[in-house]
Amino acid sequence: MEKEWRLLNIGEQNWLDTQAIYHALALVQNGSQTPNTLVLTWPDRPLVCVGLHQVLEQSVELDYIQEQKLPIVRRGTGGGSVYLDSNQLFYQIICNKKDYNQKLREFYEYFLTPVIQTYKEFNISAEYSPINDIVAKGRKISGNGAVSYGNSRVLVGNFIFDFPSVEMSKILKVPDEKFRDKIAKSLEERMGSFKILLAEIPTKEEVVEKYIQNFQKELDVKLIEGSLSNIEEEKLADIKDLYQQKDWLYYVDKDKTDLFQQKIKGDTYFVFSEKKFLGGLMQLFIHFDSGKIVDIVISGDFSLSPPFILEEMQKILMNTQIDETIISEKLSDFFISNNIDLPGILPEDISKLIVDTFSKIKK
């Protein structure tokens, strides 16, 4: 049976609005019966957008961003740091969990179907690439993030008309400047766009029209043009205010600054470690002392629901003995009791990364 959804085809918007609107709509939907909604938009100026679970100063070049007077915002979904501009068309899906309660991996695959079909209708051989990408001819042509806010679920992604590889390479944090040209070259080789894959770039209007048609056909949905309610407008204003606060920008690391600046001393170790899993990059900042975890920050470009559970996860690991079985059991119990969905990364993956990190230090 065809479901009715609201369509907010709002085109160019203030850069901050493009990131705050889906977060606001999800919070309102969680509190009342607001309609499932598809938002289509793009920013009025370039911006830097960091993932919900990233450590800001370890992810982007803040000095360069400030020099270029680029606005920066932490979004309400996971994933990595990106340079966004008007050469990208954002689709933002806000839906009720009672209607769409798949695991995150299946949620991605389901709602990316009309995106893939739209690319195909422009003669681009798009395919789903787990967990949250779309690829064509070996290139990533769409990056996506998803999250749940209570009873509301969100998926955000983009159609890429022209990928800003040089600008992207300049905003990303690198260990040494000599790597920056390599990153730019790698981005040029790995990322795709309408400009790279087609002789003629379609207009946004053409892509919007085909995507709306495919969204309705592939998902058995009827889209009805709508507008924001008063309560949604008020919540959007609240989220925009939140996004401009320093505590939000430094959400992951606001109380952990000292941890990142410490040095090894005696039997005390302050260590950074990272590993790329199927579900994304996980980074750990750990304070080890006398064979225990004294403090830890978990960050990265993964997708996670519930979205603000990392702080509690970190707390249950503090003062834990460095033993893979003990850590894995703690994390497994925590995942089950909090109904955590972290696609592509298991509790035992995290525990092994912690123990491997400690083992390398001791060697």
> Please, are residues 112 and 128 in contact by the beta-carbon 8 Å criterion?
yes
pLDDT digit string (tens) for 117-129? 999 999 999 999 9
19 vs 28: CA distance, rounded Å: 15
Q: Domains in the chain, please, with CATH?
A: 3-249 (3.30.930.10), 257-362 (3.30.390.50)
> Please, are residues 53 and 310 in contact by the beta-carbon 8 Å criterion?
yes
Structure confidence at residue 198 (pLDDT): 97
**Closest residue by Cα to residue 87 from 135, 39, 43:** 43
pLDDT digit string (tens) for 228-273? 999 999 999 999 999 999 999 998 875 655 544 454 455 677 788 8
Helices (H) and strands (E) in the chain, counts: 14, 15
**Closest residue by Cα to residue 322 from 259, 271, 281:** 271
> Please, are residues 184 and 165 in contact by the beta-carbon 8 Å criterion?
yes
Phi, psi for residue 154 in degrees, rounded to 5: -130, 140
CA atoms within 13 A on the CB side of 72: 23
> Please, are residues 139 and 192 in contact by the beta-carbon 8 Å criterion?
yes
Structure confidence at residue 177 (pLDDT): 79
> Please, are residues 263 and 274 in contact by the beta-carbon 8 Å criterion?
no
CA atoms within 13 A on the CB side of 305: 21
> Please, are residues 78 and 302 in contact by the beta-carbon 8 Å criterion?
yes
> Please, are residues 42 and 71 in contact by the beta-carbon 8 Å criterion?
no
Structure confidence at residue 263 (pLDDT): 46
Q: In sequence order, which ranges of the chain are alpha helices (DSSP H)?
A: 15-31, 56-59, 62-67, 104-121, 165-171, 180-190, 194-197, 204-219, 230-243, 246-249, 257-261, 310-317, 324-337, 347-362
Looking at this protein, which amino acid is placed at residue 334? F
pLDDT digit string (tens) for 315-325? 999 999 999 99
Q: Spell out, as residue ranges, where the chain has pLDDT lower than 50.
A: 259-261, 263-264, 363
Structure confidence at residue 269 (pLDDT): 72
**Closest residue by Cα to residue 47 from 16, 87, 10, 78:** 16
- What secondary structure does DSSP assign to 143-171, as a single string? EEEEEEETTEEEEEEEEESS--HHHHHHH
267 vs 260: CA distance, rounded Å: 17
What is the residue whose two structure tokens read 């770039």? 201
